[in-house]
Structure 1
Amino acid sequence: MRPLSSSLWVLALFASSVSARFSDFEAFKDKFNLQENLGTLSIYHQPYFTGLSTAFPESCEIRQVHILQRHGSRNPASDDGLSSAIKLVEMQDKLLNGSLPINYTIPNNPFRFVRSWVPVINIRNTDQLSSMGRVELFEMGREVFTRYRELFDADVYYINTAAQQRVKESAEWYSYGMFGEEMANKTKFTYLAEDESPGSNSLSNYNSCPVYAENNIDLKEVNEAGLAWRNVFLPSIVNRLNPYFSNYNLTNEDVTSFFYLCAYELTLKDESDFCSLFNPSDIMNFEYSYDVEYSLYGGPSSKWVNVLGGPYVQSLANSLRSVYNESDYQKVFLAFTHDGQIIPVETALGFFPDITPEHPLPVTHNPYSYSMKTSSFVPFAGNLITELFHCQDQKYYVRHLVNQQVFPLTDCGYGPSNSPDGMCELSAYLNSPVRYNSTHNGTDIFNDACKAKPVNVTINY
């Protein structure tokens, strides 16, 4: 069963973590959790960063918080290729009607569960949040309000959200968690259409960038890399599982469907017999397929690495600078989007320096130790939180949390402790070469490269 309680975020926030900055396979194989290693289909969990304290520094006061939040757990989508709802329902039907003929005479056939199996993926629920997704977002809203209570002193909070229904609904559940029955009076939502009409923004950055979207930039590389990696890691699994069928030759696509059935059944009913078909190495390689593709699709392996996340980062930077006007600045910023939009933002912030267009993730093997693990950065309900503190030395400091775990910034010095604490002085943070272009010119770079339409909505990240 999924390890979820009413204190989901508290558990994620205060859980201890391992010692390595980015753990390799050997470092955590003994406590391997399949549900935390399914790429962007993983359950919400704390990433494997250095275990820095998430408490507010004693010598500092919290002054501002920015939350970039992915939607909650969902049903299969309509447009996800091999993981689409249509593909998975087709596989369910094949298993039930015998067109994938399981040989039940083989002792201990791992597919014997199919005899009594009741599928849970339904075309009617395509793209919708799962019940767990609603709980996740409600709980996160409640816990965020508790943690940052002193910042919530406005009459109304303006919330930006990508306009797809599951994102909108996630934002609403989150807001109910924050404000309860007062939600309708305390919030105003700006819905950003997931096309080019809103102009430069990072909540629907692929579609709001006409040059990128209309020319299918990165798509060929993504598809080729995904196919190449599947051809590396799937054949051995195909060979292992094929003997359990009669007069049928399993394909890579069949086994891929088994992986997705495992992941989505965990999302929808907390358990899945399909997961028992795979060992930890199989799951790690399935996870890696997500990392390869997301790193190429506007992520650190893409030549558009410094473009797509730029509008969010510059807006973030402008809001951070606003605190110098002590009497009038916004304190809480809330934005809701998809996994594919958060990775480019984190890339523009310099989170993945080991992966570049010149040194992309390989498709010939899984190196295990690398920075951009989608399971850790953008699981269901994943988030990026930016905190701004004012400290006793009269300086402002920035800190990032990824899924409520402090991200170890290393490019802009330390906080007031003068030791590695995940904090950077505001000016050093904004002017670091790692993110300078994005913090100063992110929107202009986006507009120039994308030929973006003029912004026709008020966007406050």
Structure 2
Amino acid sequence: MLLANVIAVLASSSIAAAYTPNKQGSQYRYPFAQPYDQSFLDGYSVLKHLGGQGPYSNRRSYGIARDPPDACVVDQVIMLKRHGERWPEARTASKFTSSLDKIYATNTDNKKFAGALEFLNRWTYFVPEGRYVALETYNGPYAGLLEAYKHGADYGVRYGHLWDPTAANLTIPMFTSGFERIAMTARQFGQGFFGWNYTDVVALNIVPEESYLGANSLTPTCISDNDTAVCDNLTNYQPQFDIAAERINSQTPGLKLNTSDIYNLMQMTAYELNVRGFSDWVNVFSLDEWVAFGYTQDLSFYYCAGPGDKNMKAVGAVYANVSLSLLNEGPDKTGKLFLNFCHDTNITPVLAALGVSSPADDLPLDRIPFPNEYAVSDIMPMGGHLTIERLACNKTALSDAGTYVRLLLNEAVVPFTGCQDGPGFSCALSNYMQLVSGSLPDFISTCGFNESYPQYLDFWWNYNTTRAYDYDTQHPIPAGEGALTYEGTPA
């Protein structure tokens, strides 16, 4: 009874403390509550091991506030965005069905599946025939078209002050590379950003994905790429896939999955999430196996479309270099909003050119490194995007009044390497320009273009003002993947 009395006294004193006013006299706090959660229980998510195949997720940040620093306002935005979540391409889907056929072939006497594959007694394949191949998904929690619209709506709130909806004869260009799913992304983003004004103010410019455009492109490429040795010899093999194949085969008599099948099924899982939002296949594989799958994606992007290929820095220099002109000329002379849309492998070279997520050493081929600075799920998932903000800042205790630059990758602030002298770890524009311009290789000479090709990107200044391509008037019903001309028609 004595112990009970002590507990009662402690309890009553705790309750009293819980309702004691703080110094301001207006708030009441429970004294033992943690105002900031320390658990971080979502440290593991399969979304962080799907590379660029699965649904969008924000980049894991450095803890720097996403909103602009208190002393600053954003006066110009340059964004480069990948398309949203999509169905697989036809060639990829054929690999899925090939591995699935192996599994279904073991069920010759109509016995029910058991073990890890028990769900196949109810599961159905999720890729429709024909016309939706490689296009963005339109329903489910990770729908690509919904992601693009929501992203546009979010940026409409963040950057809506950069345009005046009441202005007469206003034209704001948006730029998309010439591929159907990219244009669909741009249109959905634009409707989210500009709302009812989308058709009245936006002039969607379609830039074909053709090498003859040289540097005047959202999808520049190297004609003479002589640094692909590692990329050409990469495989999708990881030793963890052997374990997965052995485990699954042992549970299904007659099944003989190999490591390629394991890779195919894991890749298929990512796309099922894009379409349905849930996949029973996630639980077929272990955490170690998912980490291994994610690393195959990291290797592919690093050595084939990132800093592991030295020519990619020159490819990314096209966009990085021209963005310097916009930032230097400023919003009053060139414009305040530059919204651009292309593929993942067009954005990772830009990151390489800017030195964002560029490891000091090449990714190892014989092991998975921790920490890994080049995790593609953080760098370029479906819907991934790089945003460059130009900031007009007042004087602070640590910095002078002036113009600063801030980089954001998938909504996480990424301080520019070697320059963090401004509010919110931004970089003074003058320093940013000097550091970037001094490190960029020449695209034309590196990639084998002569003077007959366009030598620089100029469509940001010389753009189409028609609203004819704001919607797909040629193909209101998706007809599958395909390249587009300037007029939005199939190439």
The TM-score normalised by the length of structure 1 is 0.82
Matched, 1:225 2:234: yes
Q: Which amino acid is 2:348 matched to?
A: I
Asked if structure 2 preserves the Cα contact closer than 8 Å seen for 1:136 and 1:381, the reply is: yes
Note the alpha carbon deviations across 1:43-66, whole angstroms, 9 max, x for none: 221212211011222222211111
Q: Secondary structure at the match of 2:407?
A: strand
2:367 to 359, 365, 368: 365
- With 365-374 and 288-297 compared, the bigger mean Cα shift is at 365-374
Q: Secondary structure at the match of 1:42?
A: coil
| Structure 1 position 231, deviation (Å) | 4.3
Query: Taking structure 1 as reference, are residues 116 and 308 closer, same or farther at Cα in structure 2, changes over 3 Å only?
Result: same
Q: Which amino acid is 1:249 matched to?
A: K
| Structure 1 position 128, deviation (Å) | 0.8
Equivalent residue number for residue 194 of structure 2: 179
Equivalent residue number for residue 472 of structure 2: none
- With 85-94 and 108-117 compared, the bigger mean Cα shift is at 85-94
Matched, 1:334 2:339: yes
Q: Secondary structure at the match of 2:356?
A: coil
| Structure 1 position 285, deviation (Å) | 1.0
User: 1:354, 1:257 → 2: CA distance?
Assistant: 28
Equivalent residue number for residue 166 of structure 1: 181
The TM-score normalised by the length of structure 2 is 0.77
Matched, 1:111 2:111: no
User: 2:57, 2:209 → 1: CA distance?
Assistant: 27
Query: Taking structure 1 as reference, are residues 201 and 86 closer, same or farther at Cα in structure 2, changes over 3 Å only?
Result: farther
2:153 to 142, 147, 153: 142
Matched, 1:352 2:360: no
1:299 to 300, 303, 306: 306
Matched, 1:51 2:51: no
Query: Taking structure 1 as reference, are residues 406 and 457 closer, same or farther at Cα in structure 2, changes over 3 Å only?
Result: closer
Query: Taking structure 1 as reference, are residues 301 and 113 closer, same or farther at Cα in structure 2, changes over 3 Å only?
Result: same
Structure 2 residues not aligned, in runs of 5+: 1-35, 396-400, 462-491
| Structure 1 position 343, deviation (Å) | 0.8
Q: Secondary structure at the match of 2:204?
A: strand
Q: Number of matched residues? A: 409
Asked if structure 2 preserves the Cα contact closer than 8 Å seen for 1:298 and 1:305, the reply is: yes
Matched ranges for 1:45-444 at <5 A:
45-79=57-91, 84-96=92-104, 98=105, 109-124=115-130, 125-131=132-138, 132-153=143-164, 155-201=170-216, 203-206=218-221, 209-212=222-225, 218=228, 220-227=229-236, 230-323=237-330, 327-355=332-360, 359-393=361-395, 394-416=401-423, 421-432=424-435, 436-438=438-440
User: 1:202, 1:40 → 2: CA distance?
Assistant: 23
Query: Taking structure 1 as reference, are residues 102 and 457 closer, same or farther at Cα in structure 2, changes over 3 Å only?
Result: farther
User: 1:205, 1:329 → 2: CA distance?
Assistant: 23
User: 2:44, 2:448 → 1: CA distance?
Assistant: 45
Equivalent residue number for residue 460 of structure 1: 460
Aligned-residue identity in percent: 25
| Structure 1 position 371, deviation (Å) | 1.4
Note the alpha carbon deviations across 1:170-212, whole angstroms, 9 max, x for none: 0011111122343223122222222202221563123xx3223
| Structure 1 position 327, deviation (Å) | 4.5
Asked if structure 2 preserves the Cα contact closer than 8 Å seen for 1:315 and 1:460, the reply is: no
User: 1:140, 1:293 → 2: CA distance?
Assistant: 27
Q: Which amino acid is 1:121 matched to?
A: V
Note the alpha carbon deviations across 1:426-451, whole angstroms, 9 max, x for none: 1111212x66233xxx5xx1111223
Asked if structure 2 preserves the Cα contact closer than 8 Å seen for 1:71 and 1:170, the reply is: yes
| Structure 1 position 152, deviation (Å) | 1.6
- With 345-354 and 231-240 compared, the bigger mean Cα shift is at 231-240
Asked if structure 1 preserves the Cα contact closer than 8 Å seen for 2:214 and 2:220, the reply is: no
User: 1:387, 1:168 → 2: CA distance?
Assistant: 23
User: 1:201, 1:382 → 2: CA distance?
Assistant: 22
| Structure 1 position 278, deviation (Å) | 1.2
Structure 1 residues not aligned, in runs of 5+: 1-16, 20-26
Equivalent residue number for residue 22 of structure 1: none
Equivalent residue number for residue 443 of structure 2: 446
| Structure 1 position 368, deviation (Å) | 2.8
User: 2:251, 2:179 → 1: CA distance?
Assistant: 41
Q: Which amino acid is 2:47 matched to?
A: Q
User: 1:431, 1:455 → 2: CA distance?
Assistant: 22
Q: Secondary structure at the match of 2:334?
A: coil
Asked if structure 1 preserves the Cα contact closer than 8 Å seen for 2:74 and 2:389, the reply is: yes
Note the alpha carbon deviations across 1:292-330, whole angstroms, 9 max, x for none: 01001131111214211011001111100002xx75231
User: 2:373, 2:133 → 1: CA distance?
Assistant: 32
Asked if structure 1 preserves the Cα contact closer than 8 Å seen for 2:54 and 2:271, the reply is: no
Asked if structure 1 preserves the Cα contact closer than 8 Å seen for 2:149 and 2:189, the reply is: yes
| Structure 1 position 88, deviation (Å) | 1.7
Q: Which protein shows a greater Rg? A: 2
| Structure 1 position 261, deviation (Å) | 2.0
Asked if structure 1 preserves the Cα contact closer than 8 Å seen for 2:47 and 2:57, the reply is: no
